[in-house]
Amino acid sequence: MFVCLQGVNRVGKDAQLGPDGVRRKDWHNYEAIKRDASRSGNGEQGKPFPLTDADRVDQAYRENGFNIYVSDRISLNRSVPDIRHPNCKQKLYAEKLPNTSIIIPFHNEGWSSLLRTVHSVLNRSPPQLIAEVILVDDFSDKEHLKTALEEYMVRLPKVRILRTKKREGLIRTRLLGAGLAKGEVITFLDSHCEANVNWLPPLLDRIAQNRKTIVCPMIDVIDHDNFGYETQAGDAMRGAFDWEMYYKRIPIPTELQNNDPSEPFESPVMAGGLFAVDRKWFWELGGYDTGLEIWGGEQYEISFKVWMCGGRMEDIPCSRVGHIYRKYVPYKVPGGVSLARNLKRVAEVWMDEYAEYVYQRRPEYRHLSAGDMTAQKELRNRLNCKNFKWFMSEVAWDLPKHYPPVEPPAAAWGEVRNVGSDMCMESKHFASGTPIRLESCVKGRGEVSWSHGQVFTFGWREDIRVGDPMHTKKVCFDAISHNSPVTLYDCHGMKGNQLWRYRKDKSLYHPVSNSCIDCSPNERRIFMNTCDPSSLSQQWLFERTNSTVLDHFNQGAN
């Protein structure tokens, strides 16, 4: 419950007494905001850095997964745009907030990106709320992260550096920092972030109200190429997962939408690296499961655990932190099987009978060893945690609408043969941006292989994916406009450019562009064109169809 500035008793210069007896104040640092507003130069106000081709050389990415040359040419104290909802500027938070230890694990991080993370935290946080900033070095071997880093940090008394003795991986590195933290709250950040205006009080305020709440800031995107700062697509969304355990974001259902979109909202699953938690509560929950190796799956473990064991999790729209989503992970992650093993472990400890839905899609997980889980199961009993069915019905109740545990039947699948030319649709590569081509049909060539790029599924989301119904890839037919080619793009499940109709006249119709899939056998091209029911080049035969599902789709379209 936040109180806005109107109609509250004034107490002293800054604080106001709310109806609940809590003194609240405006935590904004207006001097710092003014100072930031007056800054100009490369990358200031979160503007993209103007790139020349020379700036884009591969070497710039090789060591960090983002363009370190550009990072090095932007100030460590650069300003970022205040893109919060306007209501955030009016909010008051408790005058007495817990302090926090900020834990930033890193491995071979770039000098400027690591320092900019630290500077942004110190520049944009009330000093009395920062107990310490702990940099945890996971066995880096870059020279700049040794003596030079230690000498630099001497001038920032709140910062201390811990170092692991061997490569531990993200999970244990975070635990090492958390174990030595002194603050009342632990806040985890990644080593390539930028904190935005007044990001910290809204997080700590929720924990002050309920110490069993884990809170996550809204994560903005810092472009890995030009370092421009902007919101994620869709901005405020709930964290979720599909049944292969890929992290997903789903829209906030109307039942949970607040009249004030800047208010905190419940999220079933966190994105991972950026969150704050009461230190004692974190350890009551057993911290992270120490049986989780290197990285992967830990965000599910902590999310399921906090919800099922008496806590809650929220995203806080008035707290924003920018994060560089790397082009690729620039270093080798030791123990390559850790992700699969970790996911199996989380499924076995927390997901009860729902683990079966994961194994149906990932049969290779069934026989993986997930290590000794006795301690985790004892923790679950000791904390009197609810079961996963409760989690699915009370917390993630909106998830099955987007990611049903049992996949509804597809409308059509198999090869897609053109009536006019007797040739088939084919995707040579499954990467986003690849065009769909017309090629001679594999079936006619005597090779029958499901893994070949001539098998497509027109599924329950009314999109067309590569693969058979049980093994679709996450790329979809996408068309932009009339006359555009048909290309594969990452499936977004939001219909739009990826919504198709398979009509009685055998045409594949694209409602957004009001056009149909056509082809040119000589050029082997597949493209959108004005619908012409008499044209054989616009008629397509799926190898198998389910008429009940097709009729249902087509009725819904009328």
Q: What is the mean pLDDT of each run of 10 residues along the chain (558 residues)?
A: 42 71 96 97 94 66 82 96 97 98 96 98 98 97 96 97 95 96 98 98 98 98 94 89 93 94 97 94 96 90 98 98 81 68 96 97 92 97 98 98 94 96 91 91 60 87 92 90 91 91 96 96 96 97 95 81
Q: Report residue 353: phi and psi, to 5°.
A: -70, -15
Predicted pLDDT at 6: 40
Instruction: Give yes or no for a contact between 202 and 91, defined as CB atoms under 8 angstroms apart.
Output: yes
What's the pLDDT at 558? 57
Q: β-pairing, 15-17 with 100-106? A: unpaired
CA dist 160 and 319 (Å) reads 25
Q: Which residue has the tokens 């006619």?
A: 444
Distance CA 236, CA 262 (A): 9
pLDDT for the residue numbered 9: 36
Contact between 58 and 291 under an 8 Å Cβ cutoff? The reply is no
* Entry field: residues in the chain: 558
The helices-and-strands tally (H runs, E runs) of the chain is: 15, 28
The secondary structure of 335-350, three-state, reads: CCCHHHHHHHHHHHHH
Residue 174's H or E segment, with its range, is helix 170-179
pLDDT the model gives residue 295: 81
Q: In angstroms, how far apart are the furthest CA atoms of the chain?
A: 85
pLDDT recorded at residue 18: 85
Question: Can you tell me which residue has the tokens 């977004």?
Answer: 492
Residue 331 has what pLDDT? 60
How confident is the model at residue 340, as a pLDDT?
92
Q: What is the pTM of this model?
A: 0.88
pLDDT in the model for residue 493: 83
What pLDDT was estimated at residue 330? 60
Say what the alpha-carbon torsion angle 60, 66, 72, 75 is, to the nearest 10 degrees: 160
**pLDDT score at 477:** 97
Output phi, psi for 104, to 5 deg.
-125, 100
CA 446 to chain CA mean position, Å: 43
> What domains lie within the chain, and their CATH numbers?
96-324 (3.90.550.10), 412-557 (2.80.10.50)
pLDDT of residue 450: 47
Per-residue model confidence (pLDDT) at position 8: 40
Q: Are strands 312-324 and 213-222 parallel, antiparallel or unpaired?
A: parallel
Q: What is the 3-state secondary structure (H, E, C) of 78-127?
A: CCCCCCCCHHHHHCEEECCCCCEEEEEEECCCCHHHHHHHHHHHHHCCCH
State which H helix or E strand residue 241 sits in: strand 237-241
Contact 522, 390 (CB under 8 A): no
Cβ–Cβ under 8 Å, residues 329 and 202: no
Q: Which residue type occupies 413?
A: W
